[in-house]
């Protein structure tokens, strides 16, 4: 489904109206919520971000025997009753602005954690939970990469690989600490969000 969504997004016209606020928003939101309910998802609401990434496209083509009249794509979130919201990218296909045909979403891995946690009632607790998860994920992949460096050392008969890895890890952590101190006071939501986002990025870099 991820490949299908990316292919459909790539096929959409490049010219679009951003910051759309018409009836397709409510149509796609209601259709998406029904789809989530049918899947048995635990959620409180489906939110679409009305920002520069939101695109409403007029279409004039066929999907099989069905006429496609419009599409809506962008970012948003599945807000849950408990726990952080699930940030997503979505695509909604419509026969017209008041009748949706298809809705699909996929997790957005690069979503800003502060925005994610501001969708709930306790941003500080949410950010701390995300930080715990990010640190755990990073620890796992870092241990694997460090083991790789030790194996490289064993083959080379020196400690060059593991030393380089240690230096890289220390330099990254120093950068994260300095950059997040620049963004906000220690313990603030801005500081904690920065630590989460940079830790997530480091995890992706090491995968």
Domains and CATH numbers, the chain: 2-111 (no CATH), 122-206 (1.20.1270.180)
CA pair distance 151, 135, nearest whole angstrom: 24
The pLDDT score that the predictor gives to residue 107 is 93
CA pair distance 132, 135, nearest whole angstrom: 5
Q: Mean pLDDT of all residues in the chain?
A: 90
Q: Which pLDDT band holds residue 7 (cuts at 50, 70, 90)?
A: low
Q: Which pLDDT band holds residue 139 (cuts at 50, 70, 90)?
A: very high
Helices (H) and strands (E) in the chain, counts: 6, 6
User: Percent of the chain, pLDDT > 70?
Assistant: 91
The pLDDT score that the predictor gives to residue 189 is 95
Q: Please provide the DSSP assignment of 71-124 as one string.
A: EEEEEEEEE-SSS--EEEEEEEEEEETTEEEEEEEEE-TT--HHHHHHTSS-HH
Determine the average pLDDT of the residues in 142-164: 97
- pLDDT tens digits, 40-64: 888 899 999 998 899 999 988 877 7
- pLDDT tens digits, 162-203: 999 999 999 999 999 999 999 999 999 999 999 999 999 999
The pLDDT score that the predictor gives to residue 2 is 52
Q: At what angle do helices 123-156 and 160-183 cross, to 10 degrees?
A: 160
The pLDDT score that the predictor gives to residue 200 is 96
Q: Which pLDDT band holds residue 133 (cuts at 50, 70, 90)?
A: very high
Determine the average pLDDT of the residues in 70-82: 92
- pLDDT tens digits, 9-34: 444 444 444 578 899 999 999 999 99
């Amino acid at each position: 489904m991820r490949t299908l969504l990316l292919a459909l997004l790539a096929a959409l016209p490049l010219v679009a109206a951003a910051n759309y606020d018409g009836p397709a928003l409510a149509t796609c939101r209601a259709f998406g919520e029904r789809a989530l309910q049918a899947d048995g998802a635990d959620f409180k609401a489906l939110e679409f971000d009305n920002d520069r990434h939101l695109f409403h496209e007029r279409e004039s083509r066929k999907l099989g025997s069905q006429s496609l009249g419009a599409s809506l794509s962008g970012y948003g979130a599945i807000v849950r009753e408990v726990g952080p919201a699930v940030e997503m990218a979505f695509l909604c296909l419509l026969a017209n602005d008041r009748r949706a045909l298809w809705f699909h979403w996929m997790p957005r891995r690069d979503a800003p954690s502060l925005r994610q946690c501001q969708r709930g009632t306790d941003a500080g607790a949410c950010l701390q939970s995300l930080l715990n998860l990010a640190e755990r994920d990073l620890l796992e992949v870092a241990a694997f990469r460090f083991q790789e460096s030790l194996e490289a050392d064993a083959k080379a008969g020196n400690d060059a690989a593991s030393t380089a890895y240690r230096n890289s890890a220390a330099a990254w952590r120093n950068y994260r600490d300095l950059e997040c101190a620049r963004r906000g006071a220690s313990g603030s939501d801005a500081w904690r969000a920065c630590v989460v986002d940079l830790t997530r990025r480091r995890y992706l870099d090491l995968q």
